[in-house]
Amino acid sequence: MGVNDLQSRLFHCVRVRLSLANTVKPFIYCAAVLLGCFAASAQTQSFAPGQLAVLRAGNGDINLRLKQAPIFVDQFDPTKFNEAPTLSVAIPTNGPKALFFNGHAATEGNLTRSADHRLLAFAGYAGVNLLQTPGVPSQISIPRGFGTLGAAADSFTLVYDSNTWYDSANPRGVATDGDGSFWGCGNLHGTTYYNPKTAPVPFEFKTLLNTRAIKIVNQTLYASLNTADGQDTEDAGGIYSYVSGATPQPLPKDAGCTMSLVVASAPGYKKTAGFDLNSAGTIAYMADTVAGIQKYVKTGSEWKFAYNFKIPQVIPDDQNNGEGCFGVTVDFSGANPVIYATTTEGWGGANSNRVVRITDTGAASVVTTIAQAMSTNIVFRGIEFTPEAASTTAAK
């Protein structure tokens, strides 16, 4: 029996035993240990192209309320319900390459794929072991940092860690062109730029102080704000690009760059997190953490709100964190866009959240679950498509 077969059986057992309240904790602990072994075995494997990569916080044993969680990148088949990840890569949480984030925070854990599709990128806290310094990590003087993971499961690289990266703030995510440039998002420091050759000390763009998510689409960097982020400066929530004066800066590298609104979130949708756009710049989706996923369509020069996908709930209302989504990525290759997202229900309530799929055929499109977190101490956050091997990318 292979590693993935064993993973599938173990995840199935965990799902069954979660209903047995008196035996859950010791069983989850054993499951976490075994999953760690599986993750180690997976280090010689590679991500399969065209699959989903989901950034997960928690191993089922460590309480997410401790505010520091081990992290994993899970691979899921986008076409069906997954009893377990088809591949799970554990990111080091101890030693010189350690990286973790706060799985209990509502804003951390974004995942992006590089502009050349070779790398996944994500941010967190680094330079110390997990729980070495207890407490809310954003309030502790420990280094922040970010890393990348390529197609090979053993290719994790801690790219940067220092107190100069989102000091005293939440490092929410990072995007990269795959050629040495990195753009971070977070609170207090807005968008921050790093390049080991040209900007070895990260600097902030002179712009808004909060960014929720960030990604590169068609060689252009975008970031999202929610309504509260722009209140003080009277800027709208939504998706932004970068400019220098009136000149667009697709991949900004000048500290004087500012942000320019591309798609404003519709009234009533104030909790924007993740987002995605098609390469033509005519369709956009925004994840709202309490409302669902909103679609916007550009006609001529004007963006208009089309409709909202409300996420059907699977746990009791009094145990629910939110009815929306956090991360979102979209397959625009077919006649109907296919949306993949991580939901926000749970987070320490009854069961935790899900990965869902929506084939956009209209406002009444069906929301299908393709993965379900097995424990209140596991949460799915950022979502992207799997990284591609360098040879595959070069062939394109």
Would you list the domain boundaries of the chain?
A: 3-387
2 contacts: CB under 8 Å, gap ≥ 6: none
**pLDDT score for 346:** 67
Instruction: Report helix, strand or coil for 262.
Output: strand
Distance CA 246, CA 50 (A): 38
Q: In which band, very low, low, confident or very high, does the pLDDT at 352 lie, cut at 50, 70 and 90?
A: low
pLDDT, one tens digit per residue, over 90-143 is 999 999 999 999 988 889 999 999 999 999 999 999 989 999 999 999 899 899
- Which of 1-15, 293-307, 369-383 shows the lowest mean pLDDT across its residues? 1-15
Nearest to 51 by CA among 293, 357, 351: 357
Distance CA 218, CA 257 (A): 19
Q: In which band, very low, low, confident or very high, does the pLDDT at 384 lie, cut at 50, 70 and 90?
A: very high
Distance CA 87, CA 64 (A): 23
Taking residues 247-263, report their average pLDDT. 94
Q: Inter-axis angle of helices 24-41 and 3-17, to 10 degrees?
A: 170
Cα–Cα distances in angstroms (integers) from residue 206 to residues 98, 221, 222, 368, in the given order = 30, 16, 15, 41
Q: Note whether 226 and 243 are within 8 A (CB).
A: no
**pLDDT score for 15:** 41
The answer to whether residue 149 scores a pLDDT higher than 70 is yes
Nearest to 143 by CA among 177, 181, 207, 97: 97
Taking residues 23-39, report their average pLDDT. 43
Q: Which residue has the higher pLDDT, 85 or 394?
A: 85
Distance CA 234, CA 239 (A): 15
**pLDDT score for 314:** 77
Which tokens is 225 given?
């704000």
pTM of the model as a whole: 0.88
Other CB atoms within 10 A of residue 16 CB? 11
The answer to whether residue 63 scores a pLDDT higher than 70 is yes
The answer to whether residue 33 scores a pLDDT higher than 60 is no
Measured torsion, CA atoms of residues 177, 178, 181, 183, in degrees rounded to the nearest 10: 60
What's the one-letter identity of residue 265? S
Distance between terminal CA atoms of the chain? Answer: 35
Distance CA 214, CA 208 (A): 14
Taking residues 365-391, report their average pLDDT. 92
Distance CA 220, CA 146 (A): 20
Helix residue spans in 124-227 (DSSP H): none
**pLDDT score for 361:** 98
- Which of 15-29, 86-100, 274-288, 370-384 shows the lowest mean pLDDT across its residues? 15-29
**pLDDT score for 98:** 95
Nearest to 381 by CA among 371, 366, 396, 367: 371
Instruction: Report helix, strand or coil for 230.
Output: helix
pLDDT, one tens digit per residue, over 202-222 is 999 877 778 999 999 999 999
The answer to whether residue 29 scores a pLDDT higher than 90 is no
Helix residue spans in the chain (DSSP H): 3-17, 24-41, 390-395
DSSP type of residue 101: B
**pLDDT score for 106:** 85
List the 52-57 sheet strands across, edge first. Answer: 87-90, 71-76, 52-57, 379-385
pLDDT, one tens digit per residue, over 151-196 is 999 999 999 999 888 888 889 999 999 999 999 998 888 899 999 9
Q: Which residue has the higher pLDDT, 244 or 349?
A: 244
For the chain, what percent of residues have pLDDT higher than 90? Answer: 67
Which CATH superfamily does the domain covering 3-387 fall into?
TolB, C-terminal domain (2.120.10.30)
The answer to whether residue 28 scores a pLDDT higher than 60 is no
**pLDDT score for 232:** 66
Taking residues 267-274, report their average pLDDT. 94
141 contacts: CB under 8 Å, gap ≥ 6: 163, 167, 168
Distance CA 6, CA 14 (A): 12
pLDDT, one tens digit per residue, over 280-325 is 999 999 999 999 999 999 999 999 999 999 998 877 777 666 789 9
Output the 3-class SS for 284-332.
EEEEECCCEEEEEEEECCEEEEEEEECCCCCCCHHHCCCCCEEEEEEEC
**pLDDT score for 321:** 65
Distance CA 142, CA 209 (A): 21
**pLDDT score for 14:** 41
For the chain, what percent of residues have pLDDT higher than 70? Answer: 83
